[in-house]
Structure 1
């Protein structure tokens, strides 16, 4: 059974079960660690709904199809075993295969850093983008995080995704803006709302917004999975896909924003913004 078949089998199995109630921070992190040890690098399913894993903030994001995003840093590597992949992980700048899906150095990691800078640059007037202490290790940061992740190899070409998350604050409230970009050739849906509803497997009430000549799917109200409040999705003509999400709340330890940073038209425009069109 190859990786794609396994993911489909896991999705089918999880779709037939009743989703568990929301997990606590500690329980969620423990479950994610156990899943990681069981599958060691596979995009193991973490449940029928995406979960946010956090330790005093945003430490990692697990998606229903098993992708796990966490702040890029030099944490303990996950050693691949025979069930991980038939092909080696992408080659790093040292000429050796990566330890896992995350690029922690080199040009792919640089793309993640670049995306983070671009997300910070769009924080609207009236809001700030607080930073983690300079002494905070990269894998422990919660306010500004980034990751470059190997997704798949198609016809010998590596496909990557990049995610950056930025805390946004106003007054005593703190929320979050997330941007995720997928390389061309990603196999994600083309129809705007199908694309938007597929973000991390989350569903919701979707509208199609017109930005110039572009049609952008925007989920204006989430379904049962309400970790994020709104998100937009756009597929560029070259196949690169951009998701832009916002949430009025950063984590359970902080008060949330009184209103979201972006209006629906602004959120749609950001998905089309060339600053996030990584090539």
Structure 2
């Protein structure tokens, strides 16, 4: 088989695959967000950490550990039994047409994601800086400041969204990361603080409950089995909105890590309760 025949075979194989419908479960929420973050992190260090595959317009990222991460949201919503007749369109965008996938690229939901990024930058503590991507760089190529508004599920007649922002944080020669993620009320995430924290991207770790005023916040102070993030906090507001705040000493493999994390455990817990991130 020559190279051309191989490519044609791959295209034919991909064309025959029907993408699976999205699942509205807690595990799927964690897996989808981990996929999103890892894809960005891997793309930021392509030279030594990943290979990008493109076949007939399909993009995937193969990492050194053998995982292949694919873009989420490749089709319309479907009924639990997967029947074709009951598929629903993605949420309607500002142009009056259904979105092409889970991600909002304009409109009020998109604006919420941009707002969250702005607030995340404002939370960077004194002594640290928040470097920016080069002017004019396309959104999909940015690694220092990123944001996304993503449709998660439809509960009754209400669309439930999540909003994600990632900010590079620098001090001296080191560069780390601060992440803020918010889920609309109506999400299926747990209420108990540490159970909630353990749902962030499906990650696990040593968790403790911190008290901030009258609020109880779950904080994973030490991850187990996955060290892409160092610490993260989780809080469910009384109205059901969930906020996660995470920090990592390393942004990617191409840059030195920070010598210390930007926030203490108490500060990380306080940020999860901070009204700046309580999107409504």
TM-score range (shorter-chain normalised) is 0.7 to 0.9
- The residue aligned with 1:136 is 137
- Counterpart of 1:237 in structure 2 is 238
Say if 1:144 and 1:165, in contact at 8 Å, map to a contact too: yes
Aligned length: 233
Match of 2:64 in 1: none
Runs of 4+ in 1 over 4 A off after TM superposition: 43-51, 57-61, 67-70, 77-85
SS of 1:166's partner is: strand
1:55 to 2:55 alignment? no
- Residues 48 and 105 from structure 1, CA distance in 2 versus in 1: closer, same or farther, beyond 3 angstroms? closer
Deviation at 1:199, TM superposition (A): 0.5
Deviations 1:137-193 (A, max 9, x none): 111100000000000000110000000000000000000000000000101000000
SS at match of 2:87: coil
Quote how far apart the aligned CAs of 1:119 are.
0.1
| Structure 1 residues 80 and 138: alpha-carbon distance in aligned structure 2, compared to 1, 3 A threshold | same
Deviations 1:70-124 (A, max 9, x none): 9xxxxxx945497698211000000000000000000000000000000000000
| d(CA) in 1 for partners of 2:222, 2:100 | 38
The answer for the alignment partner of 2:176 in structure 1 is 175
1:273 to 1:47, Cα distance in 2 relative to 1, 3 A: closer
The CA RMSD measured in Å over matched residues stands at 3.0
The runs of 5 or more residues in structure 2 that have no matched partner are 1-13, 47-51, 53-59, 62-68
The separation in 2 between residues aligned to 1:55 and 1:93, in whole angstroms, is 30
Q: Return 5+ residue gaps in structure 1 as ranges.
A: 1-33, 62-66, 71-76
Alpha-carbon shift at residue 50 of structure 1 (Å): 4.2
Matches of 2:148 and 2:71, distance apart in 1: 7
Q: Do structure 1's residue 42 and structure 2's residue 43 form an aligned pair? A: no
Aligned 8 A contact 2:166 2:178 in 1: yes
- Distance in 1 separating the partners of 2:220 and 2:71: 21
Residue in 2 aligned with 1:225?
A: 226
Do residues 116 (structure 1) and 104 (structure 2) align? no
SS of the aligned residue for 2:163 comes to: strand
For residues 68 and 179 of structure 1, the distance between their equivalents in structure 2, rounded to whole angstroms, comes to: 22
**Larger-Rg structure:** 2
Deviation at 1:69, TM superposition (A): 8.4
CA distance in 1, matches of 2:32, 2:275: 33
In structure 2, the residue matched to 1:202 is: 203
The equivalent of 2:104 in structure 1 is 103
